[in-house]
Structure 1
Amino acid sequence: MLVENIEYDVLLESFKKILRQGGLKYTKQREILLKTLYNSDTHYTPESLYMEIKQIEPNLNIGIATVYRTLNLLEDAQMVTSISFGSAGKKYELANKPHHDHMICKNCGKIIEFENSIIEEQQSIIAQQYNFKLTGHLMQLYGICSECNLKPKTRI
């Protein structure tokens, strides 16, 4: 079930349905997690999402394990997408945005979202050349962001 620019109430109902199908309980903690993702353009690590929730709802009794489990559940349901940083873990975002790709800074971890119609068109052409039915893609470009490029280089 892919989420495409839908209102929060519809998103929440889809989430509740997924929980029921998995035999899991709907909780305030899980709803606050979903709402935090919905209201932000940030790419969260589980830890940064946990800290954001604790800042928004300081009295909410939520554990980091709940954040990890809920993110895994949402990712399995294709309601969130993740970018893997290898041993440094993943960063998550809600999958309700139009398709976009990412540039990731190898120094600071900054993620820059972009869309490019030429790249999208070329992917379709390449798939067609190889008689390949393209069902989706994830593009991640790695490099150094403009802020890190401006920092003085240190020699070791």
Structure 2
Amino acid sequence: DRDGANVSFDDGATLRVTGPWTPGDQLADMVVDGAPLILKVGKVSGGFRIRTRGADMVVHVRTPRQAELAQLMPVKVAPDTSKLLLCPMPGLVVKMHVEEGEEVQDGQALCTIEAMKMENILRAERKGTVSKVNASEGDSLAVDEVILEFE
């Protein structure tokens, strides 16, 4: 409405928010259920990024029908890359320091990648055993290409 908005949450709570903020303003000097609140607001796809008092939130602005349909969307789960060594940048494999079946220790050099005329040594983050070597010396790799697999 012209004076403000009623904000509803998933748990059923509703708050009354009033203030002179309009989309595009970077600061919002608002009143939430009678208490003053200043928010830093930025635009993101489908809503806003709001920061205040150490909190950083992405708020989606949807019609009731859009919110209903959004709940039906499957959640995309990120793949588990904890047992892989991925190439952090496009580059050339200069040296492989380990072989298949070799046990590695935390901090041990695994391979050396040359990128932008600099050599970067990739090291083990924890103890483990190399189960498969997917790259060899002289290979040109892309970002996130699998170099090694661990058991």
The normalised TM-score by structure 1 is: 0.19
Between structures 1 and 2, the one with greater helix share = 1
Between structures 1 and 2, the one with greater strand share = 2
Answer 1 or 2: higher relative contact order, Cα 8 Å, separation at least 6. 1
The normalised TM-score by structure 2 is: 0.19
